Structure 1
Amino acid sequence: MADKRPLIGILACPAEGDPPFREPLTYTAMGEAASRLGADLAVFFPEAAAIEAGQLTAYRYRPGRGWSKSAVRPPDAVLERTFCSNAQEERAVRKARQALAAAGSLLLSGRLGGKLSVYRTLAAYPPFRPYLPASEPLRSLDGVFRRLKEQGFAFLKPDGGSQGVGCLRLEVVSAAEPPVSSLSVGTPGVLYRAEGRDAGNLSFTRSFADRPSLVRWLAAFTAGQRYLVQDYLRLTGRDGRPFDLRSLVQKDAAARWAVTGIAARRGPEGSMTANLHGGGDAQPAGRFLAEELGAERAEGLLREAARLSLAAARILEARCGRLAELGLDFAVDAGGRLWFLEANSRPGRAAFQGDAGGAERLAASRPVAYAIRLASARPLAFPLSV
């Protein structure tokens, strides 16, 4: 009977369209993978996770027929891929997780916490420290103006943000900067420039003729959010476009961490970040780095990024609880040095679409195979090399 097959659930956010959720192509690929591996897959929303009479409302995938709304039993294992934008959505997700756990579902996607928490966790391991740019919480503007005075730049990003939203680069564009202790003396002409992405992920540039006006604007821009201030890394390729490396690490069918793929992401010309949601593009990292730095250096950087990816996954899982996958972002500066930028426990797949090396297929099948392994009490009916 079909109901005896493992049922893998994806806790997602609703969206306009048919089917009515984000990332339908990703979930369709995962549904196909589940079918090949002898399981079923269903997507459901936080509000639908209120389990009544042993059932919940979901969108179930059937090969050849696609998605259909139906009542399903509580999933054996659940991969969370929610992207909350407000406190109300966060509460709904917490309530859904509690209901699913109470019904016996295994929750596979732990929460990493904010970016500063991730940095501190990784920094506790001495071999990782050289790869972390200097970072601190934005409790005052001392760290900002110290960096502006000493380096000419400062970089700010939300502690809980994603997709480059709210990121900000500050730059001194006049040598006539007043002393750090002075917050009231201005200098005619443009003194500072701010470049970033607003709440709608649209690029902007602003100039400030004195420090007080910058202080007032920063207070308004960062209001209501926890921010980090970091050393600014110059991360552009030979064409002047920003780029970074997205490493996708996932548990495989044998419950081992594996690097599924590493892609190079480039932001559009004039952009500050390389995030694809800001209009960038992606390609295999090996090809891109070979063109930028030569084949030998590219191969070394990819080995280094893969090693750090696996180390970070193990470190973060030990702290945060069971994880199924992570998106880890790295950068390469003008001197060819590798830096760790951030981690995401609900990574997208866009950077690996069309990957001829098979990363796109693995990205869909590995978390499903891992979920089946944990959920099924029977011996696995598929090869562990998935």
Structure 2
Amino acid sequence: MKSKITKPKEWYNLGIIAYCNGPTFTEKDYYRNLTLVGRKVGIRVFVFSPRQVDFDSRTTIGYEFKNGVWQTHTFPLPPLIYDRCFMGPAYRNYKPFIEKLQNDPKIMFMGRGLSGKWEVYKMLECLPEITKWLPDTKPLAISEMMERLKSNETVVIKPMSGTHGYGVVRFAKGGNGYEATGRARRTNVPFRRSFKSLAQVRQFVTSFTAGLNFIIQPYLSLSTRNGVPFDVRVLVQKNGSGEWQTTGKAVRLGNKESITSNLHGGGHAAPLSSFLAANFSSSQTAMIETEINALVSVLPPALEKHHGSLFELGIDIGVDQQGRVWLIEVNSRPGRAVFRMIDDSTARLRAVTQPISYANYLMKERVGGY
């Protein structure tokens, strides 16, 4: 008869690292739901800042949703961490502490976060099964950009490490000169600017991009025929068996004044199938859905093989007016609001339960089962 193995309680702790200012942090609703789902399977979920860890005592100040409120406690460092520290200006202040946790042999991360847009693109272009969906992308060189505009090409620039559409700008020839349409770097407010000459464009771009690295891409007509920008967000996650599974798909639509469809810029959402049927022919719709499914099927395992451990991805897909499918962006710390906006209860539930199911799977694998 086998003897029963008793595991210490801390084996069942799941720590979420986030940008915390004391008990103040974003995504509280999501973390609360993770806590409630985790509690049902015996996993204790808490949120903490990597900057609040005491590596000598291997403890951290953390925040746990209990009895209807967020409570502050001191926790032992968890054996499993869910990284929700988003890329952006704040990340550099957290990176050394995150890396120290990642290098701790007693700690496992549910997935290693992807880097900025350029680093991800360089990985993707090495994957032959992905390249047909990739738009041409390069680091921004202002002199080359001026040559492309001089040749009447329309281009888009994006911050390498930006999120939510901040700092994305389209430049095109128009009127008696050139026009820029985009979103401000710091406020995400939409703007339009006109320039009489390339010299004025150069001056603006030099100022606009100062202190931040950008990429440049050809402008793709990723909008409806009425000029409404849109993209397709697909959330894929690993399930309780450690296998990739599609959680949900939705269309994000922006305002006509914007060139991005990001929800943080005031956009809204729609179910994928009905949106495609309303904007494309039946044959185009079938082809687009087939292409999206093919891309979503091959991307996660291929990217993980090149990058290392991943467990959930937000895949942003563009569809141009000819029905061609493009891979726009891959995010390893995806949001979930889009499924609430289209009232997709199945995707909303799975988006919260899958992380706990996968955490449960990893814990069982690591400690030999419950």
- Tell me whether 1:40 sits opposite 2:26 in the alignment: no
SS at match of 1:127: coil
Name the counterpart of 1:79: 82
Stretch moving more, 24-33 or 115-124: 115-124
The amino acid across from 1:79 in the alignment is Y
Name the counterpart of 2:20: 14
Shift in Å at residue 44 of structure 1? 0.6
The amino acid across from 2:355 in the alignment is P
2:226 alignment partner, one of 239, 255, 274: 239
SS at match of 1:372: helix
Name the counterpart of 1:373: 361
Q: Is the 8 A contact 1:249 1:327 kept in 2?
A: yes
- Tell me whether 1:59 sits opposite 2:63 in the alignment: yes
Name the counterpart of 1:155: 156
SS at match of 2:188: coil
Name the counterpart of 1:111: 113
Shift in Å at residue 282 of structure 1? 1.2
Alpha-carbon distance in 1 for matches of 2:297, 2:255? 30
Alpha-carbon distance in 2 for matches of 1:53, 1:42? 18
**CA 1:380 to 1:252, structure 2 compared with 1: closer, same or farther past 3 Å?**
farther
Q: Is the 8 A contact 1:31 1:61 kept in 2?
A: yes
Runs of at least 5 residues in structure 2 that lack an aligned partner in the other structure: 1-6
Q: Is the 8 A contact 1:74 1:103 kept in 2?
A: no
Q: Kindly report which structure 2 residues correspond to 1:1-386, keeping only aligned pairs within 5 A, or say none.
A: 3=9, 6-14=12-20, 20-62=24-66, 64-86=67-89, 89-99=91-101, 101-102=103-104, 104-142=106-144, 144-174=145-175, 190-198=176-184, 199-295=186-282, 297-353=284-340, 355-376=343-364, 377=366
Q: Is the 8 A contact 2:363 2:369 kept in 1?
A: no
Shift in Å at residue 244 of structure 1? 0.3
Shift in Å at residue 95 of structure 1? 1.5
Alpha-carbon distance in 1 for matches of 2:287, 2:36? 35
Shift in Å at residue 221 of structure 1? 0.7
Q: How many residues are aligned here?
A: 361
Shift in Å at residue 270 of structure 1? 1.4
**CA 1:125 to 1:378, structure 2 compared with 1: closer, same or farther past 3 Å?**
closer
**CA 1:73 to 1:132, structure 2 compared with 1: closer, same or farther past 3 Å?**
same
Shift in Å at residue 53 of structure 1? 2.9
Alpha-carbon distance in 1 for matches of 2:43, 2:135? 43
The amino acid across from 2:25 in the alignment is F
Shift in Å at residue 108 of structure 1? 2.2
Alpha-carbon distance in 1 for matches of 2:94, 2:120? 24
Alpha-carbon distance in 2 for matches of 1:294, 1:27? 41
Name the counterpart of 1:384: none
Alpha-carbon distance in 2 for matches of 1:38, 1:300? 44
The amino acid across from 1:210 in the alignment is S
Alpha-carbon distance in 1 for matches of 2:238, 2:353? 10
TM-score (norm 1): 0.86
Q: In the TM superposition, what whole-angstrom CA distance separates every residue of 1:246-285 from its partner, at most 9, and x where no partner exists?
A: 1111111111111111110000231110000000011221
Shift in Å at residue 315 of structure 1? 2.1
Shift in Å at residue 2 of structure 1? 9.5
Shift in Å at residue 294 of structure 1? 4.2
Q: Is the 8 A contact 2:157 2:169 kept in 1?
A: yes
Alpha-carbon distance in 1 for matches of 2:103, 2:338? 32
Stretch moving more, 214-223 or 76-85: 76-85
SS at match of 2:216: strand
Stretch moving more, 72-81 or 29-38: 29-38
SS at match of 1:236: coil
Alpha-carbon distance in 1 for matches of 2:79, 2:11? 10
Alpha-carbon distance in 2 for matches of 1:307, 1:93? 34
The amino acid across from 1:197 in the alignment is R
Alpha-carbon distance in 1 for matches of 2:10, 2:49? 23
Q: In the TM superposition, what whole-angstrom CA distance separates every residue of 1:87-140 from its partner, at most 9, and x where no partner exists?
A: 6x4243321441464372211231322212222222223332221111111134
The amino acid across from 1:6 in the alignment is Y
Alpha-carbon distance in 1 for matches of 2:286, 2:75? 47
Q: Is the 8 A contact 2:10 2:78 kept in 1?
A: no
**CA 1:283 to 1:380, structure 2 compared with 1: closer, same or farther past 3 Å?**
farther
Shift in Å at residue 149 of structure 1? 3.8
The amino acid across from 2:121 in the alignment is Y
Q: In the TM superposition, what whole-angstrom CA distance separates every residue of 1:195-223 from its partner, at most 9, and x where no partner exists?
A: 11112111111111111111111111111
Alpha-carbon distance in 2 for matches of 1:56, 1:3? 16
Q: In the TM superposition, what whole-angstrom CA distance separates every residue of 1:20-69 from its partner, at most 9, and x where no partner exists?
A: 1101111112112212222110011122123453421101133x534211
SS at match of 2:246: strand
**C-alpha RMSD over aligned residues:** 2.3
TM-score (norm 2): 0.90
Runs of at least 5 residues in structure 1 that lack an aligned partner in the other structure: 175-189, 382-386
Stretch moving more, 203-212 or 231-240: 231-240
